[in-house]
Amino acid sequence: MAEKPLKILTQPNLNDARMVLGFSGWMDGGEVSTGTIEYLVARLKAREIGRIDPAGFYIYGIPGPMEALAQLRPHTRIEDGLITEFQAPTNTFFCSEEHNLVLLAGSEPNLRWPRFADCIFETASRCNVSTIYFIGSVAGLAPHSREPRVFSSVSEASLKPALEQYGLRFSNYEGPASISTYMTQRSTSEGKKMATLVAEVPAYVQAKNYRCIEAVTKRLAAILDLQITLDDLRAKGDRLERRLNEIIKSRPELAERIGQLEADYDHEVFDSQMGDLKDWLEQQGIRLD
């Protein structure tokens, strides 16, 4: 019989706890999903309590060009002919008993979503988690100089009033789904409540986006009543913005395009004519990071 993929290393003592999920992959633009979890694990001094074995959940190779499929492959480092690093996908649970909180730093699975979700829901039940939150991001027509909009979808309407007071908007979307959507629609049958917090990040910025990480972490901290300051995230976000502004200022056409994007964003004009900005940047050989 195959071993269970879920490995619980230690059982925390929690009651009516919360769980926050972050995944690398499709909904991790600007590293908002993974960056938020990484920040909270370090800031709250959360300890590892378990993990999900990656075997059977990931596709490492399918036919196609190398550049398009590179993200599917494990990362490796070879120095002077010797393999010094080989990173397979990881899914690690952390816990802060002081904050009654479980965190998952994970990699979105390619395969067997129901079995992968089983592992998360089982961990949630064993840790007495009542509510689960997913942190993510999507690329959009958002300027780097503005705080991003944060959207939410929920497992039940009763969650909406509490989230709305933190400036969250509720999603209207039709298209390909993510593991978080699968889990949200399943969570009620598992006896859990679930909500997503998804930031709209600038599509034209390739760097780790600390301003967007701060925006999501600020809302999540308020929802979870975490008494933490985010000055370090704000400082990193400000440095990134100054660096981007210097690049933009030196290129008048780029400055004009960004200025129009800012005006549209401020007036909530959703015009697809700015959707070619990222392509234009690539044609000009400009990489904003």
For the chain, the domain total comes to 1
How far is 223 from 131, CA to CA, in rounded Å? 11
> pLDDT tens digit string along 99-139?
999 999 999 999 999 999 999 999 999 999 999 999 999 88
Average pLDDT over residues 11-23: 96
Per this entry, what is the length of the chain?
A: 289
Q: How high is the pLDDT of residue 1? A: 45
Cα–Cα separations (whole angstroms), residue 262 to 78, 146, 275: 43, 8, 13
Residue 244 lies in a domain: no
How far is 161 from 207, CA to CA, in rounded Å? 34
220-248: buried (b, 16+ CB within 10 Å) or exposed (e) per residue? Answer: bbebbebeeebeebeebbeebbeebeeeb
Q: Which residues pair with 106 in a beta bridge?
A: 23
Q: How high is the pLDDT of residue 274? A: 47
Q: How high is the pLDDT of residue 9? A: 95
> pLDDT tens digit string along 229-287?
999 999 999 998 898 888 888 888 878 878 888 887 877 766 555 456 666 666 655 55
Residue 274 lies in a domain: no
Residue 23 lies in a domain: yes
Q: Look up tokens 């234009």; give the residue.
A: 280
pTM above 0.85, yes or no: yes
Residue 235 lies in a domain: no
Residue 102 lies in a domain: yes
Residue 277 lies in a domain: no
> pLDDT tens digit string along 54-98?
999 998 876 666 565 566 677 889 998 989 998 889 999 999 999
Residue 50 lies in a domain: yes
135 CB neighbour count, 10 Å cutoff = 29
* 150's tokens: 């944060």
Residue 214 is which amino acid?
E
Q: Which residues contact 224 (CB under 8 A, 6 or more apart)?
A: 18, 20, 99, 101
Least confident span in 16-20, 52-56, 71-75, 145-149: 71-75
* 10's tokens: 């230690």
Q: DSSP letters of 79-147?
A: ETTEEEEEE----EEEEETTTTEEEEEEE--SS-HHHHHHHHHHHHHHTTEEEEEEEEEEEES--TTSP
Q: How high is the pLDDT of residue 157? A: 95
What CATH number does the domain containing 59 carry?
3.40.50.10900
- 8 Å CB contact between 281 and 254: yes
Strand 17-24 and strand 101-107: pairing?
Answer: parallel
Average pLDDT over residues 26-35: 93
Residue 149 lies in a domain: yes
Give the pLDDT band of residue 176 (cuts 50, 70, 90). Answer: confident
Statement: residue 288 has pLDDT above 60: no
How far is 30 from 148, CA to CA, in rounded Å? 12
For 215, the domain range is: 6-230
